Amino acid sequence: MTNTEATPVLELTGIGKEFGAIRALHSVDLQVLPGEVVGLMGDNGAGKSTLVKIIAGNFRPSHGEIRFAGSAVHFNRPVDARGVGIEVVYQDLALADNLTAAANVFLGRELKRRFGPLALLDHNAMAARALELFGELRSETRPDDLVKQMSGGQRQAVAIARTRLSNARLVMMDEPTAAISVRQVEQVLGLIHRLKEQGVAVMLISHRMPDVFAVCDRVVVMRRGEKRADKPIHQTSPEEVTALITGAKEAA
Amino acid sequence: MMAMPMESPISFTNVGRIRWWQRGIFASQTGYVLLALAVLLVVMHFASPYFFTEGNIQNVAKNFSFIAIATLGVTFVIITGGIDLSVGSMMCFSAMITSMVMTELSSPGSAAGSLFVHMAADGKTVLANVPGLILLLSILAGLGVALLAGLVNGFCIAVLGLSPFVTTLGMLSIVRGLGYVVSNGRGSFPGGPDADYFYALTSGDVLGVPVPFIYLVVLALAMAVVLHHTGFGRHVFALGGNEKAAELTGIPVVRVKIEVYVTCALAAGLQGIIISGWLGSAPANMATSYELNVIAAAVIGGANLAGGIGGPLGAIVGCVLLEVIRNGLVLAQVSSYWQQTLVGVIIILAVLVDRIRSRMI
């Protein structure tokens, strides 16, 4: 599925991060190719979320280099990361319940039409574009429905549609399947497939082994701030990954 | 690998459409409070032959306009999930500054006054150099102090992260205190050559419609457009719905918050200036505890103190309901002391009905 000749969309070399005397990350190298789904696994405190926050621009790395689509990048704020095409779907989805699906998709980047000195919201254009995005994700979500009336799967679709709006090239999803029903997990994994089909690279941060094995091309295991394994999914097994996460097996 | 985006429209096999009566105004507290108001109006019509007379309706329209403009402002704040307790004091202080500036600029003897007025030939009448200029400046001064207080509220809440309740409770006391300081507790009266314009603009009427009511309608329409058709309005709702989400999506949260508190203070200031025109003075204890009426009206009309819900229609419906009840009790010759009790009951009832309704769906 993956093309080894392609330029990696994200390339980390020797990324390290210290918080005072605590070494949260040590010399992490990682490549993500376009259209590739990489599972990022590890126990609490293994350094997953620090790594994600560095890629998303929340933290600056103490060491190492981040290259995005071939060129070196330095993020000071999350907005900078979003600017080059990195989107994060947060665990709690960051949706405003009292607004419609379309309003949430366009939150902070509303489409407007000018009427003389006034710039008024272009409701029709936003609803039409949102419907198109939901169509691409094959999610039965109406742009005019309030998010508060939606299922967990639909909410995920809204949060993911938001990343499609900016044509993100890398989407990081933080525990998207942690708190939803079995049927909705299927929907979310389906959404990840849709992103992949469109050439978007996805990093899936998850504790749920079956989900990682269902959608990922590759799995990266973190332990004690270091990358302990980076294997194509078909060359490993849930048992091996569990052993790597817990430390029963040091590295693979 | 690079599949084309799906062009075929989605079919909604599992997701039904929300029925019209389960969405929008029909499913809101504003909707059924409006219904309750309509029922109340019919009851009033049969209970008292005086209720639907022109004079009484004018009276009702004028009276509810006296708190409704401030209620529009407070509704902005409530939608973001905040609260502003300083509106009552703000009304008084703005009104007071307006009439004091007007009096000061209209006295020919003073340094400032000599620029704006001169004595007529008879030696008694004071004439304005430019008619209307004093009025304009004094109203700007009144709104200016409101703007400053709103900025301080907004800065403390949005930048320093203080709680809106505590900040505006402090501002309630600060502004009321300043009112006593500048007036020495005596209150002030709009005076000078522009006073007639002032009264015409605040307590006059156009073709039988009280001017405060006209201001209210214009401001409410403007507010509806701002809330539902501008990016700012969208951000106000988003802030009340999920502040963290608003921040993560790049909404300028600090700016929006400061803007709503300034808007609220300006609305309160304008309201105070209008009330002082109707009273003919700005006493130092004017509009004491009005913040409670204003917030009560907003809440009855459907603004949710938890944030994310509210609008101009609800604000007005809340004010009208309170005024109709007050008016009704007077017409029914019930002791006016009952009014406050009844208002309290209605606040709780309105919120209770909303709770029951949202459980049923």
A181 at the B interface (CB within 8 A)?
no
Determine the 3-state secondary structure of A189 from DSSP.
helix
User: Which among B8, B245, B308 has CB closest to A94?
Assistant: B245
Interface of B with A (CB under 8 A): 1-3, 5-15, 17-18, 23, 225, 228-231, 234-235, 237-238, 240-242, 244-246, 248-251, 308-309
Q: Which phi-psi region, left, alpha or beta, contains residue B236 (left: φ > 0; alpha: ψ -120 to 50)?
A: alpha
CA distance B192 to B99: 10
Q: Supply φ then ψ for residue B56, to 5 degrees.
A: -70, -40
C-beta separation of A25 from A228 below 8 A: no
Residue B248: beta bridge partners?
A: none
Please list the helix, strand and coil fractions of chain A in percent, rounded to the nearest 5, in that order: 35, 30, 35
The verdict on a CB contact (< 8 Å) between B1 and A197 is: yes
Q: Residue A179, Cα to own-chain centre: how many angstroms?
A: 17
Tell me which H or E stretch contains A123: helix A123-136
| The two three-digit tokens of residue B252, written as one number | 């300028």
3-state secondary structure B315-341: HHHHHHHHHHHHHHHHHCCCCCHHHHH
- Determine which of B7, B25, B26, B229 to mutate to test the interface with A (most A C-beta atoms within 10 Å): B229
The verdict on a CB contact (< 8 Å) between A138 and B17 is: no
Looking at this predicted complex, what is its ipTM?
A: 0.81
CA distance B226 to B328: 34
For B134-146, write each residue's pLDDT tens digit: 899 999 999 999 9
CA distance A110 to A122: 8
* Cα Dmax for chain B: 95
Residues of B in contact with A108 (CB under 8 A): 235, 246, 249-251
Mean pLDDT of B68-88: 95
Residues 35-64 of A with CB under 8 A from B: 35
* B3 pLDDT above the threshold of 50: no
Q: Which long-range contacts (CB under 8 A, 24 or more apart) does A235-244 make?
A: A238/A209, A238/A210, A238/A213, A241/A41, A241/A209, A241/A212, A242/A209
Residues in chain A: 252
Indicate the pLDDT class of residue B13, thresholds 50, 70 and 90: low
Residue B355 burial (C-beta neighbours within 10 Å; 0-12, 13-18, 19+): exposed
CA atoms within a 13 Å half-sphere pointing along the CA-CB vector of B190: 32
Residue B180 burial (C-beta neighbours within 10 Å; 0-12, 13-18, 19+): middle
Indicate the pLDDT class of residue B4, thresholds 50, 70 and 90: very low
| The two three-digit tokens of residue A208, written as one number | 């749920």
The CA-CA-CA angle for residues A238, A230, A214, to 5°, reads: 40
Mean pLDDT of B322-344: 83
Residue A54's nearest CA partner among A37, A36, A39, A74 is A74
The DSSP line for B23-77 is SGGGGSHHHHHHHHHHHHHHHHHHH-TTTTSHHHHHHHHHHHHHHHHHHHHHHHH
The verdict on a CB contact (< 8 Å) between A107 and B249 is: yes
CB atoms within 10 A of CB B260: 30
CA distance B337 to B329: 10
CA atoms within a 13 Å half-sphere pointing along the CA-CB vector of B55: 2
C-beta separation of B266 from B219 below 8 A: no
CA distance B140 to A150: 48
For B135-184, write each residue's pLDDT tens digit: 999 999 999 999 999 999 999 999 999 999 999 999 999 999 999 999 88
CA distance A147 to A103: 9
How many Å lie between the alpha carbon of A94 and the closest alpha carbon of chain B? Answer: 4
Q: Which long-range contacts (CB under 8 A, 24 or more apart) does B23-31 make?
A: B23/A146, B25/B313, B27/B357, B27/B361, B28/B302, B28/B309, B28/B314, B29/B301, B29/B302, B29/B304, B29/B309, B29/B314, B29/B350, B29/B351, B29/B353, B29/B354, B29/B357, B30/B301, B30/B302, B30/B311, B30/B313, B30/B314, B30/B317, B31/B302
Q: Supply φ then ψ for residue B124, to 5 degrees.
A: -115, -40
A21 at the B interface (CB within 8 A)?
no
C-beta separation of B299 from B83 below 8 A: no
Alpha-carbon separation of residue B16 from A15, B12, B13, B318 (angstroms): 48, 7, 8, 33
Indicate the pLDDT class of residue B267, thresholds 50, 70 and 90: very high
Residue B230 burial (C-beta neighbours within 10 Å; 0-12, 13-18, 19+): middle
User: Which among B3, B9, B229 has CB closest to A120?
Assistant: B229
User: For position B1, what pLDDT does the model report?
Assistant: 35
* Cα Dmax for chain A: 68
The verdict on a CB contact (< 8 Å) between A135 and B10 is: yes
Q: Supply φ then ψ for residue A206, to 5 degrees.
A: -155, 155
Q: What is the mean pLDDT of chain A?
A: 86
A6 at the B interface (CB within 8 A)?
no
Residue B274's nearest CA partner among B58, B60, B63 is B63
Tell me which H or E stretch contains B216: helix B211-229
Handedness of CA B291, B296, B299, B303 (dihedral sign): negative
B12, closest residue in chain A (CA to CA): A140
A78, closest residue in chain B (CA to CA): B248
CA distance B342 to B325: 8
Q: What is the model's pTM?
A: 0.85
CA distance A196 to A165: 15
User: For position B7, what pLDDT does the model report?
Assistant: 44
Residue A202's nearest CA partner among A71, A62, A39 is A39
User: Which among A92, A110, A134 has CB closest to B10?
Assistant: A134
Residues of A in contact with B308 (CB under 8 A): 96-98
For B98-144, write each residue's pLDDT tens digit: 999 988 888 777 777 777 777 776 766 777 777 788 899 999 999 99
User: For position A139, what pLDDT does the model report?
Assistant: 80
CB atoms within 10 A of CB B211: 18
Mean pLDDT of A188-195: 85
Please list the helix, strand and coil fractions of chain B in percent, rounded to the nearest 5, in that order: 70, 5, 30
For B175-224, write each residue's pLDDT tens digit: 999 999 998 888 888 887 888 888 988 888 888 888 899 999 999 999 99
User: Which among B5, B7, B245 has CB closest to A96?
Assistant: B245
Of residues B358 and A8, the one with the higher pLDDT is A8
CB atoms within 10 A of CB A114: 9
Give the range among A155-169, B59-73, B103-117 with minimum mean pLDDT: B103-117
